[in-house]
Amino acid sequence: MSRSPALLGSALSAALLLAACGDQPSPTPSGTAPAPADASAHDAAPPNATPANATPANTTPDSGASASDATASSGNETADAGGGATEVTSFDHGDPGVLPPGTGHGVPDPTIWGPGIRFPIKDGPAFANSQVYGHGGGSGPAGTGQCDAANFSYPWHDNFCETRAQPNGLCIGNLGHQGQDIRASTCHPGVHPVVAVADGTVTHIGSFSLFLTTPDGSRTYRYLHMSHLAVHEGESVSRGQVIGMVDHVYPPHNATTTHLHFEIKAPVTESGHTVITFVPPYASLVDAYGRMLAGTP
């Protein structure tokens, strides 16, 4: 799929940077414990590296599916007092690349990079929002906990390229969150099933990460922080198969909130050069969640 020059120039930079780093943990801010060696420090407190007056590159795609085609509509469903949510049939969501003020500069890319994927949490409702800047997060509002009802209410918010210490060439300064944080219907760990978004093979299991690669190798879907893994490395899985539970696994001290961190790595081609890089998952998740709510996951 061809992409705009601005986006592809950043994507190529990201691929070269990730290749040089070997997907090792990025430097963490002072006073923050380093991440384990199987994934980057995506849950570390954000660095003060994003210029206050920075603006995102022009990333409007020239082709591809758009999140505006998703089956979804505005709703006013809210969480109950116990940190859970009422049943929903529709949902309100922000646009791709629109991050809450003060959390970073997103990539306004509506491309559905995971066409036809199943939503990764088996049952709704679910809430896409920041676990670092949300209630109970490391940079969240003071005096609040992760089970605050605000974390379990709409609208959804994109948090790809949220200010973080991870290498990501699509983000300003080549640093930013590489995926999307998603909360299940409650903050309880180990009780909400996570499923394979597509048919494929489990190509990696680390201390807190699992990678699922499609049969043609064109996509790798990466899941972080699950517990109760129901698959093993090298196993073939089917779309919709339970692979684990939403949790807060982040050794050595489980120092994250209960949520699923979800990433997509895909090939991006520009001027005949193809790289495999992190791409924004938000539009794909909006599309998949809308289909799940409509009864056609």
pLDDT in tens, 278-288: 999 999 999 99
Q: What CA–CA distance (Å, rounded) separates 246 from 243? A: 10
pLDDT at position 79 over 60:
no
Residue 119 has pLDDT above 80, yes or no: yes
- Assess contact for 155 and 164: CB atoms under 8 A: no
The more confident residue out of 228 and 80 is: 228
Question: How far is it, in rounded angstroms, from Cα 259 to Cα 130?
Answer: 9
- pTM (predicted TM-score): 0.78
What does the pLDDT read at residue 136?
96
pLDDT-based confidence at residue 254 (cuts at 50, 70, 90): confident
Task: Let me know if 66 is exposed, middle or buried by CB neighbors in 10 A (0-12, 13-18, 19+).
Answer: middle
- pLDDT value at residue 270: 79
**φ, ψ at 34 (rounded to 5°):** -65, 155
In the chain, where the domains are located: 1-21+119-297
* Nearest to 3, CA basis, from 280, 273, 282, 270: 270
Q: What is the mean pLDDT of residues 240-249?
A: 98
Class of domain 1-21+119-297: mainly beta
Residue pointed to by tokens 């196993």 = 235
Give whichever of 6-10, 54-58, 80-84, 97-101 has the largest mean pLDDT: 97-101
